[in-house]
Amino acid sequence: ITKKVTFVFRYFPLYQIHDKAYLSAYAAEAAGIQGKFWEMTDLLFNNQQIWSTSNDPKNFFLNYAEELKLDINRFKKDFDSTEVKNRISVDLREAEQMGVSSTPTFFLNGQKVDVNSYDEFKVKLKSL
């Protein structure tokens, strides 16, 4: 038997403590539509101290999109789209219904697991 793990990322913008949480989620999702989700999230996390204090973080996100060689017009359109905003909202609602209160939060086979490191997570996976 082959054991497989499917990793599913869901948005949980911490809007209560980060006033730019939704905007950064929109940037990640808009980049993801063009196949660059993980690359954008790396840029967002690595540069959070810069864009999170800006009055206009969207300009930073556009620069990151250019750096990733995304179609800028499509990125702008997707960033502002109802589709992207709905995706974030649906994920947030589902997470709240599941009792998520922080990030990251992990579930294995539908059950929330508390882990403090990648090594702990690997141990949980091996026990399946």
- The number of C-alpha atoms within 13 Å of 124 and in the hemisphere containing its C-beta is 16
Closest CA to 11 of 112, 103, 113, 110: 103
The predicted structure's pLDDT at residue 42:
96
Predicted confidence at residue 109, as pLDDT, reads: 80
CA 80 to chain centroid, in Å, comes to 16
10 Å Cβ neighbour count for 112?
11
pLDDT tens digit sequence for 15-69: 888 899 999 999 999 999 999 999 999 999 999 999 999 999 999 999 999 999 9
User: What percent of the chain clears pLDDT 70, i.e. is strictly above it?
Assistant: 97
Mean pLDDT over residues 63-76, rounded? 98
Axis crossing angle, helix 37-46 with helix 21-33, rounded to the nearest 10: 150
pLDDT at 90: 96
Helix (H, G, I), strand (E, B) or coil at 113: strand
